[in-house]
Amino acid sequence: YRLVQPICESEYCSDAVNPHRIHTLRHGVARHSANGLQAHRHFSEMMMCTQACRPGRLERVMRDALDKLATMLDAAHRSLQFYLRQVASMQESSERTCMVCLDEDIAVGELCILPCSHIFHTACARAALAASTCCPTCRSPATLRELKHF
């Protein structure tokens, strides 16, 4: 059984700087889980375990990983706040222009927003994303699935 998580562990616990960090983290979780005896045995048999699982290492790896996750969460929260402000301003504003077709005073129901917070006619955004997988204004990666309607 493998846990599925939305954030790749290499983003918060990388072996690049300090070898065997991911082993230390996985082994520590297995050792403390309710059904982890078999996984604990498996990890313990690995050659790297003697170095990766020395006393005190799990705590350091966990602290570093949690610090990185907290930083990522803070950045995501700030991004969400910006996104929500964009949505609110579009609903309140009478100046709504699509930067693809340059139409002005567009009804809110005809607009959509991309992850980068740029706003377009839904039809214009769909056409642009069908031709290229990036925002027509800033070139940030975007897909049709990420397009949000007002």
pLDDT tens digit sequence for 60-74: 888 888 888 888 777
pLDDT at residue number 94: 66
Provide the 10 A C-beta neighbour count for residue 110. Answer: 16
pLDDT at residue number 126: 94
Q: How far is CA 22 from the centre of its chain?
A: 19
pTM of the complete model beyond 0.75: no
- Per-block average pLDDT, block size 10, for the chain (150 residues)? 56 72 80 73 76 81 84 74 72 77 86 85 94 89 84
Beta carbons within 8 Å of 48's beta carbon, 6+ residues apart: 19, 20, 23
pLDDT at residue number 69: 82
pLDDT at residue number 2: 44
Provide the 10 A C-beta neighbour count for residue 145. Answer: 7
